[in-house]
Structure 1
């Protein structure tokens, strides 16, 4: 498909390349990136619904089954910043294709696994693909579509890949596991095939990578090690602390959280040091000859963009995923462990959220160029909080339509509104050479939010379950199955109150600090006022970007 390039400018800085492409080319490009998001989310939801069968066939004890999910989450969540930086430096198409290849190849390998260790390791390697494709895809879309209605549609469609992936993974994965001769293996074979198709499409339709505008293209490997190791330890603690022998008081859990926090603090100071050097022209000229002073992996100043509103948006994404993912976990446990519904009946009760998710992204695509982003973010986070609230006050004897159905519909508004509008916001205030890194930073906060929300609400659930059971003279076992029914209900409600609190805090932050952000999507490129084009870009960064673009030309 032939595409034509022309040079454009944002006011007078920074320069970027606009690609004039046919409508068919645009559709295939967006579909390819969206398929990558479907692969990322669908591979986890499909594996989740197949866990009982996997455990039975591979003789894995129940409490170890969660590692099939955790191994993917660890690598996918903790390598995002590194791959975002690599995509910006060495080519988004290259990193995207590498990520899709990892997803496909290691998914195929999982289908042939014959023991617990093999499938856990392969799932961890598969997560590397997820860490690569998401920031690369966001950078590809940001560069392929300049600020316009087409960009809003592209980002909203990409965001819709998350609920679509969840639906495909849960529904088709469940059918394949139950009805095919290969049972759980069919799930991984399906996503291997989708990955192969996505790789071929990406190879054909994604534009050829252009050299980075940055003069110094070295990678901060020390910073990459510090942030990756720190995040791995913290995510591990948040994921496994509740099932450790003594819970979060277990010695190795305490050691890991302390070491993880220390590593992240060291990362912050190291990035500050490198950014300070490279902000000084004389020091930067000397630093380029020293192997130990590369440009920072993540400039800390990116958090201060638009007078600190970038940081606010990232923390809102963190809180929204705390609320949304804790709702998802406790609703499924409530249906299966408390009401004793089968996985299929539970899936049917959650289907409205997948349909609503796609509708929400359509709404964003239509209104993001007309409506102030604060209304989308406040409405979305408040509605996810309301979904938690409905289960926090649920009447067990009421029909599904009274609490469960409206809760399933409302739950996804926050996740879809925040992801679509948030990634548009990040793309808007990131420089051309930062697009994938900005997307990676946003995605990292959502991953951390998911783990943190599940961890905190699990602590709440266990605490209430233990205390309520004591009033009946019952010592709760590790699984909590012997707790009185009323104690279990109170514990589920308490966990949902925790999810409600996360959502409300996010809504309050948005209402207080995002009031002057304005519209993040535009009907066409000419709609963007000149002062808005450059208001969010630090002067020094803009000058360096313009100089780099001139040198590249």
Structure 2
């Protein structure tokens, strides 16, 4: 039986108070779904880079006869460039147009990935990994900015869109051409508002600081160049904060840090992400070096995280508007602690299902629940014309934090490994030390949780 058009419109209208109205920029539901899928795939580039680096570092190191320092730099080079350029690229995409940046980033990311596969030495591999991080930083802020601008009003519809965005998984997709004339038309006016000095200070500051943290465990913390990088990088960042307080169009509007919820959500989320990414890095090496798994075997075992991510994001989309978000953040923090404790206390000869499998499930559970809460709040902290910048701020801290976490865990691993080599101790001890670093970060995040006060986000849209 054919349903009259008037009845369909009535049914659609009756759903709007409960789930939210479709943004006017979308001509149809199909258009809306297609856009959310593209944004989700853009977010997936982060997972592609992180997952690929974690899984293949050991085998690449063997094939190219790389030292442990060079192996560490495969991941460090990616996170270093991504963290350093996240803020300026976020502001530029807001000023010059998010769509051109999004498409150029996709093309650059694809090209870098292709060329990276042909690298035949450690130096070229690490340089190309840096370009991969750079283009990854160019993709996520404009994608998140478009998403945040489209779903400006809190609603259950927005919760679902952002949950899909957070649950991005690595799949291929094609990119179209963009209008160069439109980009050129915005270029002069946009660059006039771009924070050039802030960009220089943050790029050099983040770059020198994270490079020093990465080289410290390798060249020694007392090495002159390491000390110089740490000191100069620190003062560049201090100068950056001072300048941002006086700049007319700052890269990082400092007023957002006056929001207590924002200033607590960021460290809670970042510390948890540091714990997870660091433990994943050492878990992959442990599986390959001590349990002699192949890269493919490690990838298969890490698929448990994909299953957990899908379930966690579905749950998040359905509870953000119903459950106090402070409780969600607390639960996520507890999951991070549980996951990393399981890895630290595991029997290295135990079966996969005893320690590693539950750790993978709970680690991702903590990540996705906290990411949904934090991402929603961060995007609402800045106006529509700065949505890409908002995403850049969050992602910069993720990349910078990840680099710092890997630097600290590498220092612990190297220190314990040196003692094991001298005394002939248990080969698992260096990995155990690195896992306990992740436990420390996860526990530190819990310290901030009791002070957090954030209610529900999204929910039913009330009619005027």
TM-score (norm 1): 0.72
Partner of 1:157: 164
Alignment of 1:159-308 (within 5 A): 159-161=166-168, 164-165=169-170, 194=172, 197=174, 199-200=175-176, 218-244=193-219, 247-274=220-247, 278=248, 295-305=249-259, 308=260
The correspondence for 1:89, drawn from 95, 118, 140, is 95
1:436 and 2:388 are equivalent in the alignment: yes
Q: CA deviation at 1:89?
A: 1.6
Looking at structure 1, the residues matched to 126 and 120 of structure 2 have their Cα atoms a distance apart, in angstroms, of: 11
- Contact 2:416–2:433 (8 Å) recurs in 1: yes
The correspondence for 1:519, drawn from 445, 456, 460, is 456
What do the CA deviations read for 1:441-490 (whole angstroms, capped 9, x no partner)?
A: 111111122122222233333444555x4xxxx626xxxxxx411xx434
1:390 and 2:342 are equivalent in the alignment: yes
What do the CA deviations read for 1:230-249 (whole angstroms, capped 9, x no partner)?
A: 111122223332222xx222
Distance 1:45 1:90, change over 3 A: same
- Contact 2:54–2:284 (8 Å) recurs in 1: no
Aligned to 1:273, what secondary structure does the other structure show? coil
Distance 1:120 1:364, change over 3 A: same
What do the CA deviations read for 1:174-230 (whole angstroms, capped 9, x no partner)?
A: xxxxxxxxxxxxxxxxxxxx36x0x22x959xx999989x99951110110001111
Q: CA deviation at 1:370?
A: 1.2
Q: CA deviation at 1:51?
A: 4.5
Distance 1:461 1:52, change over 3 A: closer
1:484 and 2:425 are equivalent in the alignment: yes
Distance 1:497 1:152, change over 3 A: same
Q: CA deviation at 1:319?
A: 0.8
- Contact 1:91–1:210 (8 Å) recurs in 2: no
| Unaligned runs of at least 5 residues, structure 2 | 1-22
Looking at structure 2, the residues matched to 110 and 376 of structure 1 have their Cα atoms a distance apart, in angstroms, of: 39
Distance 1:211 1:154, change over 3 A: farther
Q: CA deviation at 1:258?
A: 0.7
Partner of 1:452: 404
Looking at structure 1, the residues matched to 441 and 146 of structure 2 have their Cα atoms a distance apart, in angstroms, of: 32
- Contact 1:271–1:296 (8 Å) recurs in 2: yes
Distance 1:53 1:460, change over 3 A: closer
Distance 1:249 1:396, change over 3 A: same
| Highest RCO, 1 vs 2 (Cα 8 Å, sep ≥ 6) | 2
Partner of 2:355: 403
Partner of 1:500: 439
Looking at structure 2, the residues matched to 113 and 249 of structure 1 have their Cα atoms a distance apart, in angstroms, of: 33
Q: CA deviation at 1:254?
A: 1.2
- Contact 1:148–1:523 (8 Å) recurs in 2: yes
Q: CA deviation at 1:356?
A: 0.5
- Contact 2:79–2:403 (8 Å) recurs in 1: no
Distance 1:130 1:410, change over 3 A: same
- Contact 1:427–1:438 (8 Å) recurs in 2: yes
Distance 1:457 1:48, change over 3 A: closer
Distance 1:55 1:392, change over 3 A: closer
